[in-house]
Amino acid sequence: MRLSVSIFSVSGASFGMKAVFFLLFHLLLLSLSEAQSPGFVSIDCGGTEQYVDDIGLEWTPDKQFPFGKTALISVPNEDRKQYTTVRYFPADNRKYCYTLNVTTRTRYLLRATFLYGNFDMSNVYPSFDISIGPTPWSTIVISDASTIESEESVLLAASPTISVCLSNATTGQPFISTLELRQFNGSLYYTVFESHFFLSLSARINFGAESNDSVRYPDDPFDRIWESDSVKKANYLVDIAPGTKMISTSKPIYVGHNEIPPQKVMQTAVVGTNGSLTYRLNLGGFPGNGWAASYFAEIEDLSPNETRKFKLFIPGMPEISKATVDVQENAQGSYRLYEPFYTNITLPFVFSFEFKKTNDSSKGPILNALEIYNYVEIKDGSQDASLLASFASHYPLADWAQEGGDPCQPASWSWVQCSQDSEPRILMINLSGKNLTGNIPLELTKLTNLVDLRLDGNELTGTIPDFSGCLNLEHIHLENNQLTGAVPSSLVDAPSLKELYLQNNMLSGSIPVGLLNKNIIFEYSGNVNLHGASSDKSHLIIIIVCSVFGVLLFIAGFCAFRFCAARNKRKNFHKDNHTNARPTQKLRSFFSEIATESAYKFQLAEIEDATGKFKQKIGSGGFGIVYYGKLKDGKEIAVKVLTNESFQGYREFSNEVSLLSRIHHRNLVTFLGYSQQDGKNILVYEFMHNGTLKDHLHGPASRKRSLNWIKRLEIAEDAAKGIEYLHTGCSPTIIHRDLKSSNILLDEHMRAKVSDFGLSKPVSDGSHVSSIVRGTVGYLDPEYYISQQFTEKSDIYSFGVILLELISGQEPISNENFGANCRNIVQWAKTYIDSGNIKAIIDPSLDNDYNEQSVWKIAEKATMCVKPQGIQRPPMSEVLKDIQEAIAIEQGTEQLGELAIDIFSKHSIGSSVNVDPIDLSLPGRNNSSPEMFMQPGLR
Ligand SMILES: *[C@@H]1O[C@H](CO)[C@@H](O)[C@H](O)[C@H]1NC(C)=O
Ligand SMILES: *[C@@H]1O[C@H](CO)[C@@H](O)[C@H](O)[C@H]1NC(C)=O
Ligand SMILES: *[C@@H]1O[C@H](CO)[C@@H](O)[C@H](O)[C@H]1NC(C)=O
Ligand SMILES: *[C@@H]1O[C@H](CO)[C@@H](O)[C@H](O)[C@H]1NC(C)=O
Ligand SMILES: *[C@@H]1O[C@H](CO)[C@@H](O)[C@H](O)[C@H]1NC(C)=O
Ligand SMILES: *[C@@H]1O[C@H](CO)[C@@H](O)[C@H](O)[C@H]1NC(C)=O
């Protein structure tokens, strides 16, 4: 395993003692570096030996690298071995590429570092470009002999190798110190753009760091480098608000299983004791679009009456400011991580931002860490790249075949010339005198834009292949080789041919007539067995025969023969293309099968065990059937087996899963993981003990013990918070599309969580969305029938229906209960509410145990929510506000004349102070026991 990840094989050492020594050495390394994750490649450029450094990283020298020279350097205060050498390259117009083996369709962190150290004794600070394959990555500008320049990016491997190339030296000589590859295994950095854009690091900051040292491996299992904000401050993290204070804790932080920041980073933070945190930083790579995440964890012990709520403000970007962060609420407790992020945000180069506390918050904002990357569009490179790579692979030992990267971009290989297109084509191949042996590789005949082919002065054998696919080919140099066989008649048809050099080979037979008659430069001397004249005996005979049967017949026959031959040739050519294309397609689908996306992956067997082979069905709908299960550790789960038609393919499913695993809120049912095996797509959620709201309102449970009004209001509040979070706290906004009382689940403490969100894609067949509508009759936005589009306001409509259900205890659609000519709760309730007769719709089982004012408040809001037009309906935040006011009324704590916002804080203070035992263990506070941290992802 370890041997295979090092990029330069140790093939040289395969004999006797040396081999034994190497084996022992590697066994030793294996045990020494037990801790290092697989999928790490660390190349010490210019180094001479393999070693494990102080932090446990295993470094491999690049001594097999055929290009450049190495130099020793020495820089004060830098004694890490990998920074005592460099490899440097001539300042020419070529590129120099390292090629790294990777696993296709896997995400990697790629890092290149550069410490000049005056390696060339010239004190000329170099400046040059680096690229990933054909895509320009960065311009490295050295401005100091003893500062390490570093570039990092996160990318999805699209092919089995990644090339990092140095080129375009404008000052000094290009050089490199290290090249590091770290494999990711989760989905934090998944973006929908990842096939076309990679992420290039602009900032990764550990706030409140206790020293200048950055945090990396082994604290970070993926070896990201989290820079200390005290160092960043000195460089470019400026404009820090007064009252900004560093805090830290030594308590463990629950950070989950994805690629989120390591605990050590989350254990420190800055807080804005005056109510705000502001920073200004310079973002390399911007202005542009990027990916940005902030990482929060409450690491102060707040008393129950304290809250920390804040909003992000970015000058000039009001749309960013909408979501309120409540770390404890979002993370479901303190000492737990919450990581809101933007997958596509447009940012300037000089980026100012502020976290500002909300009016109802008692504490100022907190910030533990931050990461910002900019999107870099991946270039496709030459269309001929794979043909040429395949051609070069016939000559594994030749230096010219190891130049790596794209043949044309950012600079072309030394032996090719390319067109100037954005996806360049190969125009010339010049391999004169390179000691080529064997046959002329057939890849060359498929370079359809080739103009000039020079293979003269080699030791090529075999026959001349058919170049009739190269319609632009003008110059063919095959002289001074050992080619045999006939001169192919296909050359007669080469439409652009101007020069053909075949002299000094071992060609035989006769030269096709057409070739001699063609107006081209044609050299063929020095081929002992080649007959120059085409008018030989066989032709003469044919001519005699023809004169017997008639010249016309001959011409007709000859033409037909030529036509068929040409067609066959063409056919074969296409066939070849086909057989070439098939395997790649197969490979591609194979790789997407094994893609490592997303959240925790359950084994099917594990789920079968947990559910007793899907014994206990607890629900259905919304894409599939739900079963009860219990994991080995006792955790109860709800297992949703998706119907086969739900998702078109693996990628669609895994994208959904990736999205799901990023949505966290205490009022959303927690997604625990997924399984995809044996054609089954399965989603695993936390089990909610008290079933659905629908059961409690209309089911058997409702007849046993009905929910009282205050409980109904609390359920409405919980659900509203969950929905508000989907609408405003997620980026991009998530529209539920199927809100209904059976999608509001109740936990053991009767707190509500919204379920079945995030599965946003409607069932589709091919390119057209089919007529199967997401949404449920009775809850479905009437506007949807017209526009066929869901908006946030569609969810508001559905929620309005749920509020009416809560008030009335009626189901949304009924043939009997709403009187003649009315089957719909909206129509029915509206009539009574409009006429002021609220009593007529209130659920009789509430037994008059409610404050009518609070019911009125909800009823009025509900009628707003079910307005026929979306724009007439209020946003979720407004609905939530009214529900909270209704709760305040019900609790008799409303104080007239006060600002609504004050009412809320009173309410939340009140509800936490006079808590009953149930409320004490609200999610968010009940998670202090370590078992509760045991999410499946941790095991
Ligand atoms: C990289 O992959 C190629 C092709 O599979 C293989 O020949 C080579 O040995 C690999 N290199 C290393 C260092 O594993
Ligand atoms: C080479 O670098 C110079 C200066 O950085 C830049 O202007 C030029 O466009 C680059 N050339 C290529 C081919 O990238
Ligand atoms: C992902 O990598 C981390 C760190 O190396 C490791 O702890 C975790 O078990 C890995 N997860 C999976 C699913 O492989
Ligand atoms: C990001 O959003 C912008 C518009 O807001 C869009 O033009 C761009 O294509 C998106 N994606 C990327 C990777 O920039
Ligand atoms: C919170 O409660 C503590 C006592 O537990 C009290 O000392 C403090 O003043 C209260 N703070 C606020 C903001 O009400
Ligand atoms: C070709 O081979 C000969 C002898 O094997 C060697 O001297 C010469 O340097 C080689 N030329 C190239 C370009 O590799």
The average pLDDT across 897-905 equals: 33
Check whether 902 has a pLDDT greater than 60.
no
Contacts of range 159-162, beta carbons closer than 8 Å, 24 or more positions apart: 159/104, 160/101, 160/102, 160/103, 160/104, 161/99, 161/100, 161/101, 161/102, 162/99, 162/100, 162/102, 162/108, 162/110, 162/132, 162/133
- CA–CA–CA angle 174, 180, 185 (5° rounding): 145
Using a 10 angstrom Cβ sphere, with 0-12 exposed, 13-18 middle and 19 or more buried, the burial of residue 384 is buried
Residue 375 CA: nearest ligand 4 atom is 13
- Would you say how long the chain is, in residues? 939
What is the whole-number distance in angstroms between the Cα of residue 257 and the centre of ligand 3? 7
Closest C-alpha to ligand 4, atom 10: 344
DSSP string, 467-511: -TT-TT--EEE--SS---SPPPTHHHH-TT--EEE--SS--EEE-
- Taking Cα atoms as reference points, which of 176, 246, 220, 148 lies closest to residue 371? 220
564: left (phi over 0), alpha (psi -120 to 50) or beta: alpha
Check whether 101 has a pLDDT greater than 60.
yes
Q: How high does pLDDT run on average in the chain?
A: 81
DSSP string, 80-94: -GGGSEEEE--SSS-
Q: What is the DSSP letter of 440?
A: P
pLDDT of residue 760: 53
Yes or no: say if 890 and 851 are a contact pair by the CB < 8 Å rule: yes
| Residue 938 or residue 159, greater confidence | 159
- Is the distance from the beta carbon of residue 7 to the nearest atom of ligand 1 less than 6 Å? yes
pLDDT of residue 787: 82
| Residue 585 or residue 933, greater confidence | 585
What is the whole-number distance in angstroms between the Cα of residue 305 and the centre of ligand 5? 6
Probe residue for ligand 5, chosen from 303, 309, 912 as the CB with the greatest number of ligand atoms within 8 Å: 303
The average pLDDT across 602-622 equals: 86
Yes or no: say if 407 and 418 are a contact pair by the CB < 8 Å rule: yes
| Residue 534 or residue 112, greater confidence | 112
* Cα gap 640→609, rounded to integer Å: 15
Indicate the range of 7-21, 793-807, 881-895 predicted with least confidence: 7-21
Q: How far is CA 842 from CA 357, 778, 798, 832, 834, in A?
A: 40, 19, 19, 10, 14
Q: What is the DSSP letter of 260?
A: P
Taking each helix axis from N to C terminus, what angle separates 852-865 and 792-808, rounded to the nearest 10 degrees?
A: 150
Catalytic amino acids? 738
Beta bridge partners of 308: 363
- Taking Cα atoms as reference points, which of 806, 812, 804 lies closest to residue 710? 806
Beta bridge partners of 382: none
Residue 433 CA: nearest ligand 6 atom is 13
- Taking Cα atoms as reference points, which of 106, 222, 97 lies closest to residue 160? 106
Q: How far is CA 388 from CA 392, 543, 883, in A?
A: 6, 45, 67
| Residue 145 or residue 788, greater confidence | 145
Q: How far is CA 35 from CA 29, 30, 31, 101, in A?
A: 11, 9, 9, 21
- What lies within 8 Å, CB to CB, of 445 at 6+ separation is 465, 466, 467, 469, 470
Q: How many Cα atoms are found within 13 Å in the side-chain-facing hemisphere of 555? A: 3
Instruction: Provide the token pair at 139.
Output: 């311009």
**Among all chains, which residue has been given the structure tokens 């401005």?**
143
pLDDT of residue 96: 96
What is the whole-number distance in angstroms between the Cα of residue 167 and the centre of ligand 2? 9
Closest C-alpha to ligand 2, atom 1: 168
pLDDT of residue 319: 74
- Taking Cα atoms as reference points, which of 119, 76, 68 lies closest to residue 98? 68
Which tens digit of pLDDT belongs to each residue from 174-190?
A: 999 999 999 998 888 98
Check whether 655 has a pLDDT greater than 70.
no
Going by their DSSP bridges, the two strands 529-531 and 508-510 should be labelled as parallel
Closest C-alpha to ligand 1, atom 11: 7
Closest C-alpha to ligand 4, atom 1: 344
A 10 A CB-CB count for 296 gives 26
Closest C-alpha to ligand 6, atom 2: 435
Beta bridge partners of 291: 373
* Cα gap 820→828, rounded to integer Å: 10
**Cα torsion angle, 325, 326, 332, 336, sign:** positive
- Residue type for position 79: D
Taking each helix axis from N to C terminus, what angle separates 792-808 and 825-834, rounded to the nearest 10 degrees?
A: 70
Is 208-378 CATH 2.30.29? no
The average pLDDT across 854-867 equals: 93
Which tens digit of pLDDT belongs to each residue from 442-490?
A: 999 999 999 999 999 999 999 999 998 899 999 999 999 999 999 998 9
Choose which CATH entry (3.40.50.300, 3.30.200.20, 2.40.110.10, 1.20.1250.20) describes domain 591-686: 3.30.200.20
Indicate the range of 106-115, 393-402, 634-643 predicted with least confidence: 634-643
Check whether 349 has a pLDDT greater than 90.
no
Choose which CATH entry (3.30.565.10, 3.40.1280.10, 1.10.510.10, 3.40.50.2300) describes domain 694-891: 1.10.510.10
Of all residues in the chain, the percent with pLDDT exceeding 70 is 80
Residues having CB within 6 Å of any atom of ligand 2 = 129, 139, 168, 170, 410
Yes or no: say if 507 and 483 are a contact pair by the CB < 8 Å rule: yes
Check whether 193 has a pLDDT greater than 60.
yes
Yes or no: say if 42 and 178 are a contact pair by the CB < 8 Å rule: yes
- Taking Cα atoms as reference points, which of 409, 410, 411, 393 lies closest to residue 401? 393
pLDDT of residue 538: 42
A 10 A CB-CB count for 695 gives 17
Q: What is the DSSP letter of 245?
A: E
What is the whole-number distance in angstroms between the Cα of residue 438 and the centre of ligand 5? 86
- Taking Cα atoms as reference points, which of 71, 110, 65 lies closest to residue 87? 71
Secondary structure of residue 6 in the 3-state scheme: coil
Through-space distance between the first and last CA atoms of the chain, rounded to whole angstroms: 24
Same fold, 591-686 and 694-891: no
* Cα gap 372→294, rounded to integer Å: 9
Residue 306 CA: nearest ligand 5 atom is 13
- Residue type for position 37: S
Q: What confidence category does residue 131 fall into, taking pLDDT thresholds of 50, 70 and 90?
A: very high
Q: What confidence category does residue 206 fall into, taking pLDDT thresholds of 50, 70 and 90?
A: very high
* Cα gap 74→784, rounded to integer Å: 69
Q: Under CATH, domain 395-533 is a member of which superfamily? A: Ribonuclease Inhibitor (3.80.10.10)
Check whether 908 has a pLDDT greater than 60.
no
What is the whole-number distance in angstroms between the Cα of residue 433 and the centre of ligand 6? 8
The average pLDDT across 16-40 equals: 48
Closest C-alpha to ligand 5, atom 5: 303
pLDDT of residue 143: 87
pLDDT of residue 628: 92
- Is the distance from the beta carbon of residue 437 to the nearest atom of ligand 6 less than 6 Å? no
Residue 434 CA: nearest ligand 6 atom is 13
Per DSSP, the chain holds a count of helices (H) and strands (E) of 23, 45
Check whether 408 has a pLDDT greater than 90.
yes
A 10 A CB-CB count for 252 gives 12
Yes or no: say if 515 and 538 are a contact pair by the CB < 8 Å rule: no
Yes or no: say if 290 and 372 are a contact pair by the CB < 8 Å rule: yes
Going by their DSSP bridges, the two strands 276-282 and 350-357 should be labelled as antiparallel
* Cα gap 685→671, rounded to integer Å: 5
In what order do the strands lie in the sheet containing 426-430? 416-418, 426-430, 452-454, 475-477, 499-501, 521-523
Probe residue for ligand 2, chosen from 142, 168, 406 as the CB with the greatest number of ligand atoms within 8 Å: 168
Instruction: Provide the token pair at 385.
Output: 């790249």
Beta bridge partners of 630: 636
pLDDT of residue 894: 46
* Cα gap 678→687, rounded to integer Å: 24
Ranges of each domain in the chain: 15-183, 208-378, 395-533, 591-686, 694-891
Fold of 15-183: Jelly Rolls (2.60.120)
- Is the distance from the beta carbon of residue 101 to the nearest atom of ligand 1 less than 6 Å? yes
What is the whole-number distance in angstroms between the Cα of residue 435 and the centre of ligand 6? 6
Q: What is the DSSP letter of 729?
A: I
Q: What confidence category does residue 85 fall into, taking pLDDT thresholds of 50, 70 and 90?
A: very high
* Cα gap 417→408, rounded to integer Å: 7
Instruction: Provide the token pair at 822.
Output: 């009315």
To the question of whether residue 640 is assigned a binding role by annotation, the answer is yes
Closest C-alpha to ligand 6, atom 1: 435
pLDDT of residue 421: 87
What is the whole-number distance in angstroms between the Cα of residue 664 and the centre of ligand 4? 25
Q: Evaluate the omega torsion of the peptide bond into residue 465 and state whether it is cis, within 30 degrees of 0.
A: no
Residues having CB within 6 Å of any atom of ligand 3 = 37, 185, 221
Which tens digit of pLDDT belongs to each residue from 733-757?
A: 888 888 999 999 999 888 999 998 8
Which tens digit of pLDDT belongs to each residue from 242-269?
A: 899 999 999 999 887 778 899 999 999 9
**Among all chains, which residue has been given the structure tokens 């990842």?**
194
Nearest 10 degrees: Cα torsion 601, 605, 606, 608: 120
Yes or no: say if 618 and 608 are a contact pair by the CB < 8 Å rule: no
Instruction: Provide the token pair at 448.
Output: 């359809």
pLDDT of residue 693: 93
